[in-house]
A = this chain, B = another copy of it.
Amino acid sequence: MGESYKSANDETAGTPARQRELRAQGRETMSRLLEAGLCVFAERGYHASRVDDVVREARTSHGTFYLYFTNKEDLLRALAVDCAQELAKLADTIGPITSDAAGRAELRSFLGRFLETYRRYGPVIRAWMEDQVGEREIDRLGVKAFTAIGDRLGRRMREAGSALAVSDEAAVGALMAMLERFSYAVASRRVVIDDETVLDTLSTIVHRGFFNARF
């Protein structure tokens, strides 16, 4: 990833205050800052992260940071744009999740990709879920991205004939909640279990709980 400086013109996120055109060196610096943001936010969480930490991680200076981002939130926004894009792609790849073994495989595959995405964009997703963002616009990106995935999963549930859940909305909400928080636990090593086990267990549970699995 890390191509937000390409989409900068469209989104006005992660755009240097004055300059638009970035040369090689500029792109390199910005990329380093984005990466550092991801890294520092992951360690401390967005709120507790200091611009100072980011700058040190990116081996650049305070002044330089504000050459590329108007403030700390702007860095988050840039990352959020990338993350939302990634999640949108992810939503598109969710194939039919049938009640049989094939459905379970599809589900497992999706869960794996979600976990992977969380591994990279976890801090952004956390900021969304933990309500750390003070700005509508960024929040909206998250809501939109999660809604896209949730809607798709909801549709797949209905296709699977999983009518037992009283409320689709509640079911989808519960599923997304579990996905997000458990991914956090796994990605942050709060829960230490190898990925295979995690995915096996999770797909089984979700398949049975939400997708009417038969076996």
Which residues of A come within 8 Å of B, CB atoms? 18, 45, 47-48, 56, 126, 129-132, 164-167, 169-171, 173-175, 177-178, 180-182, 184-186, 188, 190-191, 193, 197-198, 200-202, 204-206, 208-210, 215
- Assess whether B173 is in contact with A205, with CB atoms less than 8 Å apart: no
With both chains docked as a complex, state the minimum distance between the C-beta of A187 and any C-beta of chain B, in angstroms. 12
Closest B residue to A164 by beta carbon equals B204
Q: A205's contact among B47, B181, B182, B210, by CB below 8 Å, is which?
A: B210
Bound Cα distance A210, B170 (Å): 17
30 CB contacts below 8 A, A to B, read A45-B132, A47-B47, A48-B132, A131-B188, A131-B190, A165-B205, A166-B197, A166-B200, A167-B193, A167-B200, A167-B201, A169-B191, A170-B201, A170-B202, A171-B201, A173-B182, A173-B185, A173-B186, A173-B193, A174-B182, A174-B201, A174-B205, A177-B178, A178-B178, A180-B181, A181-B181, A205-B209, A205-B210, A206-B209, A209-B209
With both chains docked as a complex, state the minimum distance between the C-beta of A125 and any C-beta of chain B, in angstroms. 12
Bound Cα distance A174, B166 (Å): 21
